[in-house]
């Protein structure tokens, strides 16, 4: 049972425009969410996180939005750069119960110069 | 601060053999988690160790096992390898603070090919 879902396997965006990557979850106990970026043949790199007490967190060009009622989070990248081309994974955890992290299947982002 | 390291980076084995993968976490991180990544399947959680004890376990057969040492280094073992075990195996380390697991940081992974 996939508790974290990324329904778009791929996304193409023009350089300079906004990239929006989406993630849905089913477990209402999840209270901590993260985004990772992964290049081929490398491990995922942590990008940004958000706890359930917030609905937005920003770090430079990256902003994560959390909609708890819809069980949905999104990652916005503005402006998109060719170096952002990678696979992006969202992850969630029910920290309060000491659970593991659950990962989505990833979205491959291509930023076109 | 040094990141998570994994050895070896690449492995080729044949069906029926066993393999041991190693992970050294970031200094000060006592939690180590293992994941299997295959195309289209995302990261599948194998298990997590904290202070030499398995804390969480995913839905993998008993052929997959692990352990953690007193210095927090961890090993993962797969016995009786099958073709479907070919994957990228990732290790991640984290701290637990006030009962909560903090962000996981990943190593570069070990690419296992089973022939």
Q: How far is B104 from chain A (nearest CA, A)?
A: 8
Tell me the C-alpha distance between B86 and B114, whole Å: 5
Lowest mean pLDDT among A17-26, B6-15, B52-61: B52-61
Tell me the C-alpha distance between A24 and A90, whole Å: 9
% of chain A surpassing 90 pLDDT:
88
Asked if B45 is an interface residue toward chain A (Cβ–Cβ < 8 A), one would say yes
Would the CB atoms of A43 and B111 count as touching at under 8 Å?
Answer: no
Question: For B39-67, what is the mean pLDDT?
Answer: 91
Q: What is the mean pLDDT of chain B?
A: 93
Would the CB atoms of A44 and B58 count as touching at under 8 Å?
Answer: no
Question: For B73-94, what is the mean pLDDT?
Answer: 96
B33 in Cβ contact with B45 (< 8 Å): yes
Q: How far is A107 from chain B (nearest CA, A)?
A: 10
The two beta strands, B42-50 and B31-38, are: antiparallel
Eight-state DSSP code of residue A100: P
Tell me the residues of A at the B interface, defined by beta carbons under 8 Å apart.
6, 32, 34, 36, 41-46, 49, 89, 91, 93, 95-96, 98-106
- Residue entry with tokens 């193409």: A12
Instruction: Choose the mutation target among A4, A101, A105 for the interface with B, i.e. most B CBs under 10 Å.
Output: A101
Would the CB atoms of B103 and A41 count as touching at under 8 Å?
Answer: no
- Chain A residues in contact with B4 (beta carbon < 8 A): 43
Q: Over 90: is that where the pLDDT of A50 sits?
A: yes
Q: What is the pLDDT of residue A98?
A: 67
Q: What is the pLDDT of residue A90?
A: 97
Tell me the C-alpha distance between A8 and B41, whole Å: 13
For B84, phi and psi rounded to 5 degrees?
-70, -5
Closest CB to B56 among A41, A100, A104: A100
Would the CB atoms of A100 and B48 count as touching at under 8 Å?
Answer: yes
The half-sphere exposure of B12 on its side-chain side, counting CA atoms within 13 A, is 1
Q: Over 80: is that where the pLDDT of B52 sits?
A: yes
Compute CA B1 distance to the chain's CA centroid, rounded to the nearest angstrom: 21
Higher pLDDT, A112 or B96: A112
Q: What is the pLDDT of residue B1?
A: 65
Q: pLDDT for A2-39, tens place per residue? A: 899 999 999 999 999 999 999 999 999 999 999 999 99
Q: What is the mean pLDDT of chain A?
A: 94
Q: What is the pLDDT of residue B110?
A: 96
Q: What is the pLDDT of residue B42?
A: 82
- Chain A residues in contact with B100 (beta carbon < 8 A): 32, 95-96
Q: What is the pLDDT of residue A2?
A: 83
- Chain B residues in contact with A104 (beta carbon < 8 A): 42
Question: For A30-59, what is the mean pLDDT?
Answer: 94
């Amino acid at each position: 049972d996939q508790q974290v879902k990324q329904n778009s396997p791929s996304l193409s965006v023009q350089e300079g425009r906004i990239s929006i990557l989406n993630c849905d979850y089913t477990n209402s106990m999840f209270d901590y969410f993260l985004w990772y970026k992964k290049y081929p043949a490398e491990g995922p790199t942590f990008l940004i996180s958000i706890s359930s007490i917030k609905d937005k967190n920003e770090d430079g060009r990256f902003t994560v939005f959390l909609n708890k009622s819809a069980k949905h989070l999104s990652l916005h990248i503005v402006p998109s750069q060719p170096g952002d081309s990678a696979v992006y994974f969202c992850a969630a955890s029910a920290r309060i119960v000491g659970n593991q992290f659950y990962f989505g299947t990833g979205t491959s982002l291509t930023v076109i110069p | 601060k040094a990141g998570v390291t994994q050895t070896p980076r690449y492995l080729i084995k044949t069906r029926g053999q066993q393999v041991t993968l190693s992970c050294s976490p970031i200094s000060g991180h006592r939690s180590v988690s293992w994941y299997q990544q295959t195309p289209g399947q995302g990261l599948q959680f194998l298990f997590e160790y904290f202070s030499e004890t398995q804390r969480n376990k995913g839905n993998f057969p008993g052929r997959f096992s692990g352990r953690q040492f007193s210095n927090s280094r961890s090993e993962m073992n797969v016995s009786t390898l099958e073709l479907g075990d070919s994957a990228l195996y990732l290790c991640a380390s984290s701290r637990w603070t006030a009962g909560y697991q903090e962000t996981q940081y990943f190593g570069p992974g070990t690419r296992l090919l089973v022939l």
